[in-house]
Amino acid sequence: MLPQMQYLQVRISPGDTAVTSMAQEFVNAKIQPGKVVVFIKPSCPYCRKTQEILSQLPFKQGLLEFVDITATSHTSEIQDYLKQLTGARTVPRVFIGKDCIGGCTDLEVMQQNGELLVRLKQIGALQ
């Protein structure tokens, strides 16, 4: 017996394009060379762990930002754009400069193998 197929119905209106554009502009404005940006949801345990790891490091003022995507009414659209940009819509999404390194597990691996400090020094984010 074949599994039942499910279809996603997509409805596009002019407003949807504006919202998608807003999400794209919002995310792209946050991601900057020389800065670490993490897109989070406060209720997410992996986001809290990521914040804990990064907050222990000696960042220069203004070069570490945690962006709460639930603080906007376009959370879903932001996650959709993050998926388009990075291949995943889950949070946290960690950007070192313009490069997405993944989520919490990826950050932990980089911390353990020393790559995290190397990358942060390369972009000049640490004191």
Residues 6+ apart with CB under 8 A from 120: 36, 57, 59, 96, 126
Report helix, strand or coil for 63. Answer: coil
* Six token digits for residue 27: 């995310």
- Predicted local distance difference test score (pLDDT) of residue 16: 58
> What is the domain class of 14-122 according to CATH?
alpha beta
**Residues forming beta bridges with residue 96, ordered by sequence position:** 36, 99
**Global confidence as pTM:** 0.85
- Predicted local distance difference test score (pLDDT) of residue 68: 98
Residues 6+ apart with CB under 8 A from 6: none
Q: d(Cα 127, Cα 124) in Å, to the nearest integer? A: 8
| Domain residue ranges of the chain, discontinuous segments joined by + | 14-122
**pLDDT per residue as tens, the chain (127 positions):** 444 444 444 344 444 567 678 999 999 999 999 999 999 999 999 999 999 999 999 999 999 999 999 999 999 999 999 999 999 999 999 999 999 999 999 999 999 999 999 999 999 999 9
- Predicted local distance difference test score (pLDDT) of residue 20: 77
